[in-house]
Amino acid sequence: MSGLLIRSLSRGQQMSMRLLSTSAPRRTEVSLDQSARDRIHPKLGNRDIVGWGFNGTASYADREEFPCPAVRFKENTPDVMALREKEKGDWKKLTLDEKKALYRASFCQTFAEMKAPTGEWKSILAGVLFALGFSGWIVIYIKKFVYGEMPHTITREWQEAQLNRMLAQGQGRITGISSKYDFEKGDWK
Protein backbone atom coordinates (compact mmCIF):
# COMPACT_ATOMS: atom_id res chain seq x y z
CA MET A 1 0.00 0.00 0.00
CA SER A 2 2.77 2.43 0.87
CA GLY A 3 4.53 1.64 -2.43
CA LEU A 4 1.37 2.57 -4.31
CA LEU A 5 1.07 5.78 -2.33
CA ILE A 6 4.68 6.72 -3.06
CA ARG A 7 4.19 6.04 -6.77
CA SER A 8 1.03 8.15 -6.93
CA LEU A 9 2.76 11.01 -5.05
CA SER A 10 5.74 10.87 -7.39
CA ARG A 11 3.37 10.91 -10.36
CA GLY A 12 1.67 14.00 -8.92
CA GLN A 13 5.05 15.68 -8.48
CA GLN A 14 6.00 14.78 -12.06
CA MET A 15 2.71 16.27 -13.31
CA SER A 16 3.31 19.54 -11.45
CA MET A 17 6.86 19.73 -12.80
CA ARG A 18 5.65 18.97 -16.30
CA LEU A 19 3.12 21.79 -16.10
CA LEU A 20 5.90 24.26 -15.28
CA SER A 21 8.39 22.87 -17.76
CA THR A 22 8.86 24.15 -21.31
CA SER A 23 10.83 21.13 -22.48
CA ALA A 24 9.49 17.77 -23.59
CA PRO A 25 8.23 15.56 -20.75
CA ARG A 26 10.20 12.59 -19.52
CA ARG A 27 8.62 9.21 -20.15
CA THR A 28 8.59 7.06 -17.04
CA GLU A 29 6.90 3.66 -17.13
CA VAL A 30 4.83 2.67 -14.14
CA SER A 31 4.30 -1.06 -13.71
CA LEU A 32 1.73 -2.47 -11.35
CA ASP A 33 2.43 -5.32 -8.99
CA GLN A 34 0.03 -8.28 -9.13
CA SER A 35 -2.09 -7.28 -6.09
CA ALA A 36 -2.68 -3.74 -7.38
CA ARG A 37 -3.35 -5.10 -10.85
CA ASP A 38 -5.95 -7.56 -9.49
CA ARG A 39 -7.64 -4.77 -7.56
CA ILE A 40 -7.72 -2.32 -10.49
CA HIS A 41 -8.42 -4.82 -13.26
CA PRO A 42 -10.27 -7.74 -11.64
CA LYS A 43 -11.41 -9.32 -14.91
CA LEU A 44 -8.08 -9.02 -16.69
CA GLY A 45 -6.52 -12.18 -15.31
CA ASN A 46 -2.99 -12.99 -16.46
CA ARG A 47 -3.13 -10.95 -19.64
CA ASP A 48 -0.73 -8.15 -20.58
CA ILE A 49 -1.81 -4.55 -20.88
CA VAL A 50 -0.08 -3.53 -24.10
CA GLY A 51 -1.51 -0.13 -24.97
CA TRP A 52 -4.11 2.54 -24.53
CA GLY A 53 -6.90 0.72 -26.33
CA PHE A 54 -10.04 2.09 -27.88
CA ASN A 55 -11.26 4.22 -24.99
CA GLY A 56 -8.49 4.00 -22.43
CA THR A 57 -9.87 1.07 -20.49
CA ALA A 58 -8.14 -2.28 -20.21
CA SER A 59 -10.56 -4.24 -22.37
CA TYR A 60 -10.33 -6.33 -25.51
CA ALA A 61 -12.44 -5.68 -28.61
CA ASP A 62 -11.83 -6.55 -32.26
CA ARG A 63 -12.50 -3.37 -34.22
CA GLU A 64 -11.52 -2.60 -37.81
CA GLU A 65 -11.27 1.13 -37.19
CA PHE A 66 -9.06 0.66 -34.11
CA PRO A 67 -6.93 -2.46 -34.60
CA CYS A 68 -4.82 -2.18 -31.42
CA PRO A 69 -6.70 -3.39 -28.31
CA ALA A 70 -5.45 -2.46 -24.86
CA VAL A 71 -4.89 -6.03 -23.67
CA ARG A 72 -3.82 -9.27 -25.27
CA PHE A 73 -6.55 -11.75 -26.22
CA LYS A 74 -5.25 -14.83 -24.39
CA GLU A 75 -3.73 -15.19 -20.97
CA ASN A 76 0.00 -15.78 -20.57
CA THR A 77 0.63 -19.52 -20.52
CA PRO A 78 4.08 -21.13 -20.35
CA ASP A 79 3.83 -22.00 -24.08
CA VAL A 80 3.03 -18.41 -25.04
CA MET A 81 5.75 -17.02 -22.79
CA ALA A 82 8.30 -19.37 -24.40
CA LEU A 83 7.21 -18.16 -27.83
CA ARG A 84 7.51 -14.52 -26.71
CA GLU A 85 11.08 -15.16 -25.60
CA LYS A 86 11.79 -16.84 -28.91
CA GLU A 87 10.31 -13.94 -30.89
CA LYS A 88 12.81 -11.54 -29.34
CA GLY A 89 15.45 -13.24 -31.50
CA ASP A 90 15.49 -13.73 -35.26
CA TRP A 91 11.99 -14.03 -36.74
CA LYS A 92 13.30 -16.17 -39.58
CA LYS A 93 13.88 -18.95 -37.06
CA LEU A 94 10.19 -18.99 -36.10
CA THR A 95 7.97 -21.41 -37.97
CA LEU A 96 4.71 -20.33 -39.55
CA ASP A 97 2.73 -22.16 -36.86
CA GLU A 98 4.66 -20.34 -34.13
CA LYS A 99 3.98 -16.98 -35.77
CA LYS A 100 0.28 -17.85 -35.99
CA ALA A 101 0.26 -18.93 -32.34
CA LEU A 102 1.84 -15.60 -31.33
CA TYR A 103 -0.73 -13.70 -33.39
CA ARG A 104 -3.63 -15.68 -31.89
CA ALA A 105 -2.29 -15.04 -28.39
CA SER A 106 -2.57 -11.30 -29.00
CA PHE A 107 -5.61 -11.09 -31.30
CA CYS A 108 -8.81 -13.07 -31.67
CA GLN A 109 -9.54 -12.35 -35.33
CA THR A 110 -7.63 -11.29 -38.42
CA PHE A 111 -8.88 -8.40 -40.56
CA ALA A 112 -10.22 -10.90 -43.11
CA GLU A 113 -12.21 -12.62 -40.35
CA MET A 114 -13.53 -9.28 -39.06
CA LYS A 115 -14.67 -8.23 -42.54
CA ALA A 116 -16.17 -11.62 -43.45
CA PRO A 117 -19.95 -11.56 -43.82
CA THR A 118 -21.73 -12.89 -40.77
CA GLY A 119 -25.17 -13.55 -42.25
CA GLU A 120 -26.73 -11.14 -39.77
CA TRP A 121 -28.68 -9.53 -42.63
CA LYS A 122 -30.88 -12.62 -42.78
CA SER A 123 -32.19 -12.17 -39.26
CA ILE A 124 -32.67 -8.43 -39.85
CA LEU A 125 -34.61 -9.11 -43.07
CA ALA A 126 -36.71 -11.74 -41.29
CA GLY A 127 -37.52 -9.24 -38.52
CA VAL A 128 -38.48 -6.53 -41.00
CA LEU A 129 -40.70 -8.90 -43.03
CA PHE A 130 -42.34 -10.18 -39.84
CA ALA A 131 -43.05 -6.59 -38.73
CA LEU A 132 -44.52 -5.72 -42.15
CA GLY A 133 -46.68 -8.84 -42.16
CA PHE A 134 -47.90 -8.19 -38.63
CA SER A 135 -48.70 -4.57 -39.54
CA GLY A 136 -50.64 -5.78 -42.59
CA TRP A 137 -52.76 -8.10 -40.44
CA ILE A 138 -53.46 -5.23 -38.03
CA VAL A 139 -54.62 -3.02 -40.93
CA ILE A 140 -56.90 -5.79 -42.25
CA TYR A 141 -58.36 -6.32 -38.77
CA ILE A 142 -58.98 -2.60 -38.28
CA LYS A 143 -60.67 -2.21 -41.68
CA LYS A 144 -62.85 -5.26 -41.12
CA PHE A 145 -63.89 -4.91 -37.48
CA VAL A 146 -63.10 -1.41 -36.21
CA TYR A 147 -64.21 0.96 -38.97
CA GLY A 148 -67.88 1.15 -39.86
CA GLU A 149 -69.30 1.53 -43.34
CA MET A 150 -68.38 4.57 -45.40
CA PRO A 151 -70.72 7.55 -44.97
CA HIS A 152 -73.34 8.14 -47.68
CA THR A 153 -71.76 11.50 -48.48
CA ILE A 154 -68.81 9.71 -50.19
CA THR A 155 -70.91 8.23 -53.00
CA ARG A 156 -70.69 9.67 -56.51
CA GLU A 157 -74.44 10.48 -56.67
CA TRP A 158 -74.29 12.49 -53.44
CA GLN A 159 -71.28 14.50 -54.63
CA GLU A 160 -73.00 15.32 -57.96
CA ALA A 161 -76.18 16.37 -56.15
CA GLN A 162 -74.11 18.54 -53.78
CA LEU A 163 -72.39 20.21 -56.76
CA ASN A 164 -75.78 20.96 -58.39
CA ARG A 165 -77.07 22.48 -55.10
CA MET A 166 -73.96 24.69 -54.88
CA LEU A 167 -74.49 25.87 -58.46
CA ALA A 168 -78.21 26.49 -57.86
CA GLN A 169 -77.43 28.57 -54.79
CA GLY A 170 -74.72 30.49 -56.71
CA GLN A 171 -71.99 29.81 -54.19
CA GLY A 172 -68.67 31.47 -55.01
CA ARG A 173 -69.73 33.62 -57.97
CA ILE A 174 -66.45 35.59 -58.08
CA THR A 175 -63.72 33.04 -57.38
CA GLY A 176 -65.56 29.89 -56.28
CA ILE A 177 -67.27 27.03 -58.08
CA SER A 178 -69.98 29.19 -59.69
CA SER A 179 -67.37 31.37 -61.39
CA LYS A 180 -66.28 28.33 -63.43
CA TYR A 181 -69.85 27.52 -64.60
CA ASP A 182 -71.65 29.24 -67.50
CA PHE A 183 -75.30 29.59 -66.42
CA GLU A 184 -76.54 30.80 -69.84
CA LYS A 185 -75.19 27.76 -71.72
CA GLY A 186 -75.64 25.37 -68.77
CA ASP A 187 -72.08 24.03 -69.10
CA TRP A 188 -68.65 24.50 -67.57
CA LYS A 189 -66.47 27.32 -68.89
- Taking a C-beta distance cutoff of 8 angstroms, is the pair 163, 177 a contact? yes
| pLDDT mean across residues, the chain | 82
Identify the three-state secondary structure at position 47.
coil
Which of the listed residues 96, 115, 134 is the one where a domain comes to its end? 115
With residue 120 as reference, give the H or E element that holds it: helix 120-141
Are residues 124 and 160 both part of a single domain?
A: yes
pLDDT above 90 for 46: no
Per-residue pLDDT, 131: 98
Domain at 156, CATH number: 1.10.442.10
Per-residue pLDDT, 83: 93
Which residue, among 187, 163, 186, 158, has the nearest Cα to 176 in the 3D structure?
163
Which of the listed residues 89, 115, 141 is the one where a domain comes to its end? 115
Are residues 135 and 184 both part of a single domain?
A: yes
Per-residue pLDDT, 5: 53
Q: Is 105 exposed, middle or buried (0-12, 13-18, 19+ CB in 10 A)?
A: buried
Q: Quote the domain boundaries for residue 98.
A: 34-115
pLDDT confidence tier of residue 150, bands split at 50, 70 and 90: confident
pLDDT above 80 for 11: no
pLDDT confidence tier of residue 128, bands split at 50, 70 and 90: very high
Q: How far apart are the first and last CA of the chain?
A: 100
Which of the listed residues 74, 89, 115 is the one where a domain comes to its end? 115
Per residue in 48-102, pLDDT tens? Answer: 888 887 777 778 888 888 888 888 999 889 999 999 999 899 989 999 999 999 9
With residue 188 as reference, give the H or E element that holds it: strand 187-188
pLDDT confidence tier of residue 107, bands split at 50, 70 and 90: very high
Are residues 104 and 45 both part of a single domain?
A: yes
The one-letter code for the residue type at 159 is Q
pLDDT above 60 for 28: no
Identify the three-state secondary structure at position 98.
helix
